[in-house]
Every structure is written in structure tokens, then in C-alpha cells.
Chains A and B, each alone.
Chain A
Amino acid sequence: MNENKKNQSARRKFVKAFLTGSVGAVAGKKLLSSLSAKDENVSDEQITALSSDGKLIKVLKSQVDHPHHKPASPSEARKGIYGKKFVLIVDLAKCKNARKCIDSCEKHHHLTPDRPFIKVLKMQDNPKASPYWMPKKCFQCDNPPCVKVCPVGATYKRTDNIVLIDNDRCIGCRFCMAACPYSARVFNWGKPQTTEDNQAYSPETSVPSKIGTVEKCDFCPDLLRENKLPPCITSCPNGVLYFGDANDDTVTNGEETVRLSELLRDKAGYRYMEDLGTEPNVYYLPPVDRMFPFQDNTEASDV
């Protein structure tokens, strides 16, 4: 009897020790491998790059320099990034008004809260439908009313779908603000507080802000040139914003990558106020099949 008990306890001790040991060993190995450089793949690591005439070429990663590009000057910024057509998809079923997109955008563009590029609005389509949160920024329209009315061509449409503003040319007439039906633009009424005064101005960064000129969401072309996603996309904790290149037929929200055409077809993507004829490049996925009910969790309210 005693012998059995002793055996049992010994077995238990052994199993415990075995498990602890294996966990410890695996953890130790991971620790080791993270401390040393990941050199298991270095001989295989090739990356594909888009050559200047639109062909895919493969180069060894180690051979490619990743310099931090100087942002494009106002005259260079009029040309779009070759071969791209950027689009944004907003999945309204997932938005919980976390507002991390607004915070990261504010930080990236050195904005103050009174000049938001992104607004998250509480919308309700009709009295019987549930309210939902709708993030809204500039729709980068293909038939842009703001570009049509600008008297000096300070705002312009690029080949990569982006509508940019050249604040070296803007005269502050605010006709574009009156023309935009989506209230996407904000104006620098006073002197913008910015600490980046010594940075060269580029329409692709919209930094530094200039007094008496207009601004809006610019899809962060300075990051796009380096194949990086804009900060609003990656900072969303709920994966609401999907960004991509329509020429690639792919969008990603930082974690999940899907085919654009399938996403819009399967989830009935639509454009806000489609019949105004502005042809936006931002699509919304309807707030159906939600995993959680709508929560009015901020002081946001209609006025």
C-alpha cells in the first residue's frame, strides 16, 4: 500500500518535472533564437520590387537599401505613384468608436483636435434601424467637386486616385469647402501650432500646416511610396479600415488581407451618397451581422 502510494507520488513528480522541463526548454530555445539574429532564412530571403516600368523583379533583400525618402516637393507631388489606384474600405459592422484612427492621424499630421482629418459620426439611416458608427474622411473622388472649383489648381487629382492639396498655392478662398458635399475639408483659420516648422513642406505629408489654407485626409502618400500602410489603418483595434491598391485587387487592414472584388461583392459594398455622382474611392460595408450591439459610448451627439 505504501509502496503504491509512493509510486503514485513519484509518477506525479516525474510528469510535473517532464512538463516543466519541456516548457522551459521550448521557452529557452525561443529566447535564444530571438536573441541571435534570425539567420535561418538569409540565403532564401528575396523580396519583389516593382521596377520603374511596372514589372515585378526579384532582388535580394540584403542588396536593397531602404533609405528614408525625402517627401516629394509640391511639383513632384502632382504626379501619382505609378501604377497604383488606392482605395479604402470601411467595415461598418466592426466600428466601435474606439477613435484610435483619429488619434494616430492627429499625431502623424501634427494636428489639433479642432482640425480632424477623420471624423467618426453616429449615423442612423432611419428611425427603425440601429445606429452605427461611421468613420469618414476624404473620399478621394474620381469626379471631385472640390478640384473642379479651385480657381488656382491648388487641389488636384492624381493618377493614383489621391486628391492632394498644394498649400504653397492655396489662396484660402474656401470654395472647395463649400463644394464638398461630405464636409471632408478643414481650414487653418489661425496660425497652426506646429513644432515642425523647419521641415520642408510637402503636399504628400501635409506638414507643416500653413495659416489660411485648407487641409484634408491625403491617404499618407509619403508612407505609401515606401509600401507602408497609413497609421489609421494599422492603429484600429477592431480592424475596421481596409486599405489597398485596386490594381492589385487586394486590401488589408494590417492583419487580414482579402481580395477587394470579393469583399465588395460578398458584403455588398456601397459608396456614400452614390447618386451625387462624385464617384468616391471609399467603400462602406453595411453594418449587418454585427457581433455586438451598438453602444453609444462617447459624448458624440447630433446637433
Chain B
Amino acid sequence: MTAYKLIISPGIDKFAIYLVLFILQFSMVLAQDKKAHIELDFWEEEGKKYITATASDFDHDSIGAPIEEIELYMYVQRTFSLLPIGDRFNETDENGELTIEFPKDLPGDTIGLVNVIVKIEDADEYADTSFSKVINWGRPLIIDMSENKRELWAAGASAPIYLLILQIP
């Protein structure tokens, strides 16, 4: 405190303080924009499916130390939006790991693939990023294309048989 007081001369002391602090903070913040890397692991136990996400520092293309207590947002890609999975708030532990249970009976595409996405958003020291991996843990979709079923509400050519027969008289 006293040191500060000594350097600055009256009149421009306020302005100088603000300016210096601003530059300091700015550079601090810019410099703190670290990149993160997330590794996704899929494993099963006792019939339940789990995903473990491991977040680590990512410095010039090399994976560094694990990040602890960072919030990860886990989603599954859906048609219009991302479906959140896991708990409401997912934080990594001291090893930078986070384990959540994969939802039961979630539909996938025709061969059961789902796209799992994990994101870092609005974290204190890390830039926003997202990683994804495709896994066939979805329920395979059976697409019923039997358009030509004979129904009362179908197109004229798919009318129920009894109506076609009654047409004859």
C-alpha cells in the first residue's frame, strides 16, 4: 500500500492507478486463456453404461496436467438441440475425471449410434471448447416405411380391400 502511495504524484494518481491496474488485469486475463483437452472413455459395469471424461491442460499440442473442479457439460446430439445427460452440475474431481451414467434406452440412429458431446463453457481459466465421440450405445431405430398399408385414411390407391370390393356393385 505504502509503496503505491510513494510512486504516484498527486493529480494524476487516480488515473495512473486505473490505467496500470487495467493493463495488468487485461494481460492476466488474456494470458489465462488456457486450452483444455478432454478424453472420453466409455465403459460398462453390471449392465450399466458409464462415460468418464478426463479434462487436462492442452499446451502446444501436448496433454498436460489434469484440471480439477472444472465444470463439464455432457450432451447427446439430437435433431434440434443437445440433450443434457448426467447430473445437473458435473464437476471433475482431483484427477480431472468425471463419471456419469449414460441414460437407459436412448434411441440412436438406425444402427444404434449416438453422438456424445462434452463442452467447457464459461469456465474461469479455460477457453470454450467441445469434444465429441460417436458410440453405438443407442437403441437402434426401426424405421417403419410401410406407407402402403391399407387404411381408411391412406391415399386412394391404398384403400381397404373391402371398400374396393364394394365398389364393384
Contacts and interface: CB of A to CB of B under 8 A. Distances in A.
Chain A directly contacts chain B within the complex, with at least one CB pair under 8 Å: yes
Interface of A: 7, 10-11, 13-14, 17-18, 20-22, 24-26, 28-29, 38, 40-41, 44-46, 48, 50, 53-56, 58, 82-84, 143-145, 147-148, 153, 156-157, 159, 227-229, 243-245, 247-250, 252, 257-259
Nearest to B20: A21
A88 to B, nearest CB: 12
22 contacts: A20-B21, A21-B24, A22-B21, A29-B26, A40-B128, A41-B128, A41-B130, A50-B109, A56-B77, A56-B108, A83-B110, A143-B153, A153-B156, A156-B155, A243-B80, A244-B80, A245-B78, A247-B141, A248-B78, A249-B107, A250-B80, A252-B78
A156 B143 CA distance: 19
B107 A13 contact: no
B129 A41 contact: yes
Interface string B66-106: 00000000000111111110000000000000000001001
A-B interface, 9 closest residue pairs, ranked by CB to CB distance from nearest: A21-B21, A25-B25, A54-B110, A25-B26, A147-B153, A252-B81, A250-B78, A48-B115, A56-B109
Looking at chain B, what size class is its interface with the partner chain? 35 or more
B132 A21 contact: no
Nearest to A243: B80
A56 B22 contact: no
A11 B25 CA distance: 18
A93 B82 CA distance: 24
Given A25-B26, A28-B26, A29-B30, A248 B134 contact: no
Contacts of B45: none
B37 to A, nearest CB: 10
Nearest to A21: B21
Interface string B1-25: 1101100000000100110011011
B42 interface: no
A92 B35 CA distance: 44
B143 A83 contact: yes
B82 A56 contact: no
B1 A11 contact: yes
B152 interface: yes
B111 interface: yes
B29 A245 contact: no
Interface of B: 1-2, 4-5, 14, 17-18, 21-22, 24-26, 28-30, 33, 35, 77-84, 103, 106-111, 113-115, 127-132, 134, 141, 143-145, 147, 152-156
Contacts of A55: 109-111, 113
A31 to B, nearest CB: 11
Nearest to B103: A259
A245 B79 CA distance: 7
Given A44-B131, A143-B153, A248-B79, A21 B5 contact: no
Given A25-B28, A41-B129, A244-B80, 14 more contacts: A17-B17, A21-B22, A28-B22, A29-B26, A40-B129, A44-B130, A55-B109, A55-B111, A55-B113, A153-B155, A157-B154, A159-B144, A159-B147, A250-B83
Output the residue of B18, B109, B145 with the most chain A CB within 10 A.
B109
B130 A82 contact: no
